[in-house]
Structure 1
Amino acid sequence: MAWFLGLGIVGLVLLVLCLVFDGVLDGLGGAMDGFLSLPVIAGFVSALGFTGAITMGAAGTGAGVATSAGVAVGGVVGWGTWRLSRALLRDGTAPAPRGEDLTGTSGTVVTAIPAGGYGEVLVYLAGQPVKYAAKAAIPVARGTEVWVESVPSVTSISVRPVER
């Protein structure tokens, strides 16, 4: 039973190494695409060791039965770890926000906009406040809520006051 507990502890140490060194040994799997990654090996060894110890201690079985049970449970845990890590690595992100996404949103004038000239408007792009140079057909006072009509360049927008 001491061997099985030792294997379980070694698996936990491997898991800590996996967290500390984060993927340093992941390239050892080669063609197996992460199946022999450190988290998978740590999960397998821990499950094998602790399942073997529990089987021997609780059921009073021999080393052969405990090893078989440990390998079976370790295989399931290793496979589950591999599938979970593949799912997490495949998780895509949303596309980066672009200035064109501002069209139709509202903002607040922070620097007055003269007729035909530029002022500044605070708008929210992907939840973050961003100041843009803003142009309007009519003069717009500071603090006025405006709608973004278009995005003529990367740093400027065309706005109109919100009518209520």
Structure 2
Amino acid sequence: MLDGLFDGLLSLPVIAGFASMLGFAGAIAMGTAGVGVAGATAVGLPAGVATGWLTYRFGRALMSDRSGAAPRGDDLIGAPGSVVTAIPTDGYGEVLVRLAGQPVKFAARSHVPLARGAEVWVEQVLSHSAVSVRLVER
């Protein structure tokens, strides 16, 4: 019957915002104006409701934001990086690549051996945690 009516309104952030502002505003009213418990509640209740409502609205806005799509494996191809652990021709080393602005370490293979600190480009994604790289030639 009430399915979805209170969806998000009774979330932890909304309840915490309401309770916190109710207490803070009430304590400020008691301390500065010298009102009693009833007066503190009369001041704190609207402040708590307003804070809970704002928290609810901000939460909905953040949850409905779809501007940042999760990066895919194809987004790695052509990304610059640097060798962290030397890469032999017959095994794996490690590279540090910037993916969506964040440094991410991947296991890496190369057709030629690469020393630590070498600048590389990702040429192929082998798996979720491994890439094939080539040396940046300048």
CA pair 113-97 structure 1, distance change in 2 beyond 3 A: same
CA pair 126-117 structure 1, distance change in 2 beyond 3 A: same
| TM-score normalised according to structure 2 size | 0.58
- Corresponding residue of 1:68: none
Q: Does 1:149 find its partner at 2:118?
A: no
CA pair 130-87 structure 1, distance change in 2 beyond 3 A: closer
Aligned runs of 1:7-156 on 2, under 5 Å? 11-16=46-51, 18=52, 39=53, 90-156=64-130
Deviation at 1:145, TM superposition (A): 0.2
Alignment check: 8 A CA contact 1:107 1:124 kept: yes
Alignment check: 8 A CA contact 1:136 1:160 kept: yes
Deviation at 1:93, TM superposition (A): 4.0
CA distance in 1, matches of 2:69, 2:50: 33
CA distance in 2, matches of 1:88, 1:154: 28
Query: Percent identity over the alignment?
Result: 54
SS at match of 2:75: helix
Q: Which runs of 4+ in 1 moved over 3 A?
A: 8-13, 84-90
Q: Does 1:158 find its partner at 2:108?
A: no
Structure ranking higher in helix proportion? 1
After superposition, give the CA deviation of every residue in 1:78-126 in whole Å (9 maximum; x if it has no partner). Answer: xxxx8x9876654324211223311101100011111132111011112
Structure 2: runs of 5 or more not aligned: 1-41
CA distance in 2, matches of 1:135, 1:85: 43
Alignment check: 8 A CA contact 1:116 1:138 kept: no
SS at match of 1:158: strand
Root-mean-square deviation (CA, aligned residues, Å) is 3.0
CA distance in 1, matches of 2:116, 2:59: 51
Alignment check: 8 A CA contact 1:134 1:159 kept: yes
Structure 1: runs of 5 or more not aligned: 1-7, 19-38, 41-81
Deviation at 1:11, TM superposition (A): 3.7
